[in-house]
Structure 1
Amino acid sequence: MFCRWLVLFCLFLFHTCLKSNAQQKNSIGIQLVDIKAGTFSMGSERGKEDADESPVHDVTISKGFKMSATEITNKQYEAFDPEHNKLRGKQGFSLKDDEAVVFVSYDEAVAFCAWLSKKEGKPYRLPTEAEWEYACRAGTTTDYFTGNELPAEYQKLQHTNRTPVPVSLQVAQTAPNEWGLYDMHGNVEEWCSDWYGAYVASPQTDPVGRQTGMSRVTRGGSHNTPVRYLRSANRQGMLPEDKHWLTGFRIVQGALPRTKALPAEPTPANCLQVSQQKYVWQKETQPVFEAPVTYVIKPDSSTGIPFYKHNHCPAITWCPNGDLLAAWFSANNENGREMTILASRLRAGKKTWDTASLFFMVPDRNTTGTSLVYDQKGTLYHINGVEAAGDWQNLAMVMRTSTNNGASWSKPVLIEPEHVKRHQVIAGSQVTREGWLVQFCDADPSSRGGTAMYISKDKGTHWTTPYTLPNTPKFKDSAIGGLIAGIHGSAVQLKDGRWLALGRNDNIKVDSVTGERMTMSISGDGGASWQYSPSIFPPISSGQRLVLRRLNEGPLLMVSFTHCPGKSTVEGMDFTRPNGEVYKGYGMYAALSYDEGKTWPVIKLLTDGHLRQLNGGAWTGMFRMDSTHSEPKGYLAATQTPDNVIHLISSNLYYRFTLAWLQQP
């Protein structure tokens, strides 16, 4: 009798719970879970790549709220925006009614909450970052609510896939946490309401993040993502306008805390004490070659600036106040999600570069590819790639501008919002004689991917690509179509309006004696199609990127490398001394053309002959400079100031020289 009574009682409780849960569903079927007030330890103490999770600090959530048990689904979101149905199945993701909605920006998620609030007369919103972590942990202190490991049944391809692999995003297919919330670890990332910013050490009550910022916080990690990014404490971020296959959202019912937001993050050093006085340039006519100096200067670890072991892929421009501004990525791995863009300033009249400081970052997103240019009409342009996740294939392109010498920058604007190939930004943005902005990008992450061209005729507001695919490839062993031959391409507009470009790989074999030569690409239709022919220059390979530009004085300047150590079958090039003696030289050289690239009568090794031991950084490392050796590798970027001084940077070193020095025997 007692057992029978116990069974009936359990059934009663079960049906009572079902009824309670049913009563928690709102008008469009979103199940809401009560989250009670409480206090928890927010963050974690991990390695440098996760430094933004520290310091661990106590957070009190003073008032309870209701949170959606699952991420918002396609069916629920499309009750607000039926047009979103067109994005179902994009790139193979989220096709069914009960799969988590993706391809939703921050503003669209906020608009959904506003629509639902009006519809029901109750306050709906995105969770704060603190509320999200509190609810995810559900009283736990471990890496995941399941412990310090995430069981296999919760995992959906938890590794980086260069080409994302579609998986089901159906919600609530694994057990919820102790508070009844599903998919807090993985499935899709989720928008939070906070601007991303550093934590503070003191205890917080109902924190709401920073007053402003560049990125909005996302939490929880997603499919096609290493499992460590699914931890309760892991912090990610996205530009608010961005949207892709990794991110959706869940909602909270309850008023936003009235807590005062923390101040915006401190201004980085490269934006501080920037002179606004117009610099008076004095023409330099003498031969000048200055000993190379380091421009990548490590900041003190106490500053919290995310400086990693691999600093590479630079860009450089001059500013109207006389400063030089250089930017590059810093990472442990080139396809890492820890990557950030740092910058340094060489202030007018100074000989030493500033210490590196933060320039651009989207938390836990790879940001490969940076370019800088000054339009000589008052505006600096910064263009950068932003991945959906790690790696460096599926990049969107963002742009910022500055009209005060880089003392402040506009909010990033997605100028190419799709995360696809062809968006890996290459240093060397330029302004054409028509006043158009031109940006070059690697078209494919493979070694034979070619270089794409993007053009804006309205100062960066709208961009087009002139690319057309011809019926047949222009030369053997390459099917890059209407692209510049080779990745990391560098191009120059010729006086007759055509474009001339050089790049890495997609080389042309001349004959059995000469071997392969770097391909010269010529376009007579604004970049829509290209004709290819062998140049006189040897090919370059891994760890090397060339520069091609027009000098103020008129000649074309090309800076490249004699060979790639460990890759080239023939090492070095023949150079001629003033007395006519031919010698073998190794490393970085400069070439000049006075007839728009037809001939290159001046080819000079970039060294003054003095013996030095130098560190090229990145893939270059230590090397010897002397009368026959210059820097053997490096990603190059260059600018020329109005005084006609050429400023060249490799992955770690800054060179300063003049045309008169290049022309000197």
Structure 2
Amino acid sequence: MKSTAMAVAMAMTVCAVATGSEPIKMVDIPAGYFYMGSRALGENFDEGPVHKVTLTRPMRMSATEITNAQYEEFFPEHRALRGKNGVSADDNDAVVNVSYHDALEFCKKLGQREGRIYRLPTEAEWEYACRGGTYTLYNTGDWFPDSCHKSQRVARDFDPVSLRVGQFAPNAFGLYDMHGNVEEWCMDYYGPYTADEATDPCGPAQGEYRVTRGGSHHTPVKYLRSANRSAMLPDDRHSQTGFRIVESDAELQHSGEEWSVPAVRRDISAGEFMWDTPSDTPFYLPPIPFVVAPQCGNGVPFYRHNHQPAVTWCDNGDLLAIWFSANEENGREVTVLSSRLKAGCGEWEEAREFFRVSDRNLTGSSLLNDGNGTLLHINGMEASGDWQNLAMIARRSHDNGATWSAPEIIAPEHTRRHQVIAGPSITAEGWIIQACDAGPGGNDGTALHISRDGGHTWEDPWDGAPLPDFSDGGVGSTIAGIHAGVVQLADGSLMALGRGNSIAGSDGKLHMPMSISRDMGRTWTYSASPLPPIDGGQRLVLRRLNEGPLLLVSFTGHPQRTPETDRGMEFTAPDGTKAKGYGMYAAVSFDDGRTWPVRRLVTDSVPRFLDGGAWTGFFESDSTHAEPRGYLCATQTPDGIIHLLSSRLHYRFNLAWLLEAMQ
């Protein structure tokens, strides 16, 4: 980085913008050049390639982040948000819970009063200013001092922490809190770097996300590095992001085609597909993997843990599956990948990136074909890491998933009850119902979100009450069990089955909880179902088949956590013989869940050694053993074929195959 003693001396010149609150101190930063980015290893692939950036104009940047008092001089209503999540309560704390647009509006109002132009820094300006002449991981060196950490960790619940600006020593340019305290909005749309040298770059001309920089409180220190890049939806607001400002001599202009982000459109058929007529002939195909690793070097991030799938059918005859890929489930590297089984093909395509917001945890995805030519994608979106405090977004596709609309925030609060579960459905009233885990614990239950306008606005009918004691059933406003499947019954009521919150039955054993709501999710009554409970690494499917009956796919117990005496169920083979079986089974109910007379292991009895991926790992399948664990999702195509996905494998069968067990 070009820097001289004179330049540093210039940088230390401090001017103040007069406000009714504490003045905004502005620091002069000289023009110069530097090399932007990092080695771009692993999850930090978006930080490369390293490229030379020249900033031809000196700038004045606020020495600290904008504070509550400074922001509220123009927006006094923001005071109601002080102290939310236990942070940013005082006048001189960095302001948070402001969107990108809020930050721009502050710059506009300040500029109108001062007769000057204020804006957010570009991403290049921010990194140049943060580094202050360094190329180490932090402007303090390759380690960030413990005295500056401010509780830098992933925490499911925020600890009260001071966000007072300027508590620690500034960098060589006289800027405070460039690492940590709060993330800071930048001007740029988020987009890929190129290796080309750039002069006064200001990012892509279009995009879906804006860049944030610097990391925040409750964030692992590695995300505070000078080169680290994060992205946010510009409408998003949460307790970890604020901003600082730059005084400019002119409005910025986008700098060239090399920065534009090309539209991505996959080669996907848009034609009509002629589905076969549903058949009464039993049908079962051996499982095949749908999680197919991408080829090395193609730029698709693919991590060691691939989990929590969702699946839908497309009008062109394809199947579309998505899942998250991560090293750690609560990590910030999480990305959502997809694969496609094209009509008439026998193998799934290799994985491609489907949805990513850089440095945000994206736990929980669902897909729905609304039957009118639209695919709906719903996803959780964290402010940082972990999967507890998620907002929810939605996207739409009208061309079988070739392109998708920009993400729309449908549940803006980063909070519990937003961890999306695969398997939304449409009620008889035309409403979409979407289940979400109500918390991060195994017994936190399931929330229900309802949209009456095609997925644009949503409500959670929860009354705020905690889950009740399930020892005697009871009544509550949250579904019993996490990862629940929800269906509408013939009388218009809702039924749900879930994992955890098990209820003792008349036999004295624990059973899977059943929840019934007769008021569209406002209240639920609980009872013991006739089905065995499930546990870690297992998620059930509950849906109504095209033919009318209900389908449940679940597990006979947990291979490690269920007592051996309770493990397994008795099944009837097509030849009438009975045997105890273990693992994944499918059950059919013709009376809206009161009884499940059809139960069959999901196996064709052929001995196989299979890799179930994720938490399942390797297992043997034969006449009495099916997949022991897996996060399940399913769709049924118009030809009647049930497509069941576990954490890695795709099973195909029809209702006639299930009914063989009754013959």
Q: Distance in 1 between matches of 2:293 and 2:11?
A: 59
Identify if the C-alpha distance between structure 1 residues 478 and 387 changes in structure 2 by more than 3 Å, giving closer, same or farther.
farther
Q: Show the counterpart of 1:529.
A: 523
Q: Find out whether 1:84 has 2:78 as its counterpart.
A: yes
Which residue of structure 2 aligns with residue 329 of structure 1? 324
Which residue matches 1:25? Answer: 17
Q: Distance in 1 between matches of 2:467 and 2:81?
A: 34
CA distance in 1, matches of 2:604, 2:53: 60
**Aligned partner of residue 658 in structure 2, secondary structure:** helix
Q: What secondary structure sits across from 2:102 in the alignment? A: helix
| Alpha carbons of structure 1 residues 657 and 476: separation in structure 2 relative to 1, 3 Å | same
Q: Does 1:485 align with 2:480?
A: yes
Query: Does structure 2 retain, via aligned residues, the 8 Å contact 1:469–1:481?
Result: no
State whether residues 11 and 30 of structure 2, in contact with CA within 8 Å, keep that contact through their aligned partners in structure 1.
no
Tell me the alpha carbon deviations over residues 24-75 of structure 1, each in whole angstroms, 9 at most, x when there is no partner: 4355621111111111111111530111112111111121111111101111
State how far apart, in whole Å, the 2-side matches of 1:200 and 1:477 are.
62
Pick closer, same or farther for the CA change 1:218–1:278 going to 2, 3 Å.
same
Superposition pairs of residues 82-121 of structure 1, within 5 angstroms? 82-121=76-115
Give the letter for the 2:490 counterpart: K
1:308 corresponds in structure 2 to: 303
Deviation at 1:478, TM superposition (A): 8.2
Q: Is the 1:330–1:339 contact (alpha carbons within 8 Å) kept by the matching residues of 2?
A: yes
Cα root mean square deviation, aligned: 1.9
Counterpart position of 1:442: 437
Q: Which residue of 2 aligns with 1:242?
A: 236
Give the match's secondary structure for 1:396.
Answer: strand
How far is 1:533 from its partner? 1.5
- Superposed, which structure 2 residues align to 1:505-516 within 5 Å? 505-510=500-505, 515-516=509-510
Looking at structure 1, the residues matched to 261 and 518 of structure 2 have their Cα atoms a distance apart, in angstroms, of: 48
Tell me, yes or no, if the aligned pair for 2:55 and 2:200 is still in contact at 8 Å.
Answer: yes
Show the counterpart of 1:63: 57
Contact (CA 8 Å) 1:208, 1:260: kept in 2 or not? no
User: 1:8 maps to what in 2?
Assistant: none
Give TM-score scaled by structure 2 length: 0.94
Match of 1:358 in 2: 353
Query: Which of 368, 377, 381 is matched with 1:373 structurally?
Result: 368
Distance in structure 2 (CA, Å) of the matches to 1:530 and 1:196? 43
Call closer, same or farther: CA 1:311–1:498 in 2, change over 3 Å. Answer: same
Q: Which moved more, 1:23-32 or 1:310-319?
A: 23-32
| Residues 1:226 and 2:194 are matched in the alignment | no
1:199 matched to which residue of 2? Answer: 193
**Aligned residues: percent identity?**
56
Change (3 A) 1:20 1:45: closer
**Matching residue of 1:539:** 533
**1:420 equivalenced with 2:415 (yes/no):** yes
Q: CA deviation at 1:469?
A: 5.8
Work out whether residues 367 and 392 of structure 1, in 8 Å CA contact, stay in contact via their aligned partners in 2.
Answer: yes
Q: Tell me which of 312, 315, 332 is aligned to 1:320.
A: 315
Q: Deviations over 1:517-537 (max 9, x none)?
A: 111111111111111111111
| Count of residue pairs the alignment pairs up | 646
Please name the residue that 1:9 is paired with.
none
Compared with structure 1, are the counterparts of its residues 491 and 472 closer, same or farther at alpha carbon in structure 2 (3 Å cutoff)?
Answer: closer
Which of 554, 562, 565 is equivalent to 2:556? 562
Change (3 A) 1:478 1:112: farther
How far did 1:261 drift? 5.6
Report if aligned partners of 2:367, 2:376 keep a CA contact under 8 Å in 1. Answer: yes
Question: SS in structure 2 opposite 1:447?
Answer: coil
- Contact 1:209–1:261 (CA<8 Å) still a contact in 2? no
Secondary structure in 2 matching 1:655? strand
TM-score (norm 1): 0.94
Change (3 A) 1:379 1:624: same
Structure 1: which amino acid aligns with 2:463? T
Structure 1 gap ranges (5+): 1-15
Structure 1 residues 39-54: aligned runs within 5 Å: 39-54=33-48
Q: For 2:514, which of 512, 516, 520 is the aligned residue?
A: 520
User: Which position in structure 2 is the counterpart of 1:610?
Assistant: 606
Counterpart pick for 1:637 among 623, 626, 633: 633
Secondary structure of 1:455's aligned partner: strand
CA distance in 1: counterparts of 2:160 and 2:550, whole angstroms: 48
Deviations 1:462-505 (A, max 9, x none): 21122236799363288993211100000110111011110001
Change over 3 Å in CA distance of 1:470–1:207 after alignment to 2: closer
Q: Per-residue deviation at 1:20?
A: 5.7
Report whether the alignment pairs 1:587 with 2:567.
no
Among candidates 644, 647, 656, match of residue 643 of structure 2: 647
Secondary structure of 2:470's aligned partner? coil
User: Given the alignment of the two structures, is residue 572 of structure 1 paired with residue 568 of structure 2, yes or no?
Assistant: yes
**AA in 2 matched with 1:276:** A
Q: Secondary structure of the equivalent of 1:50?
A: helix
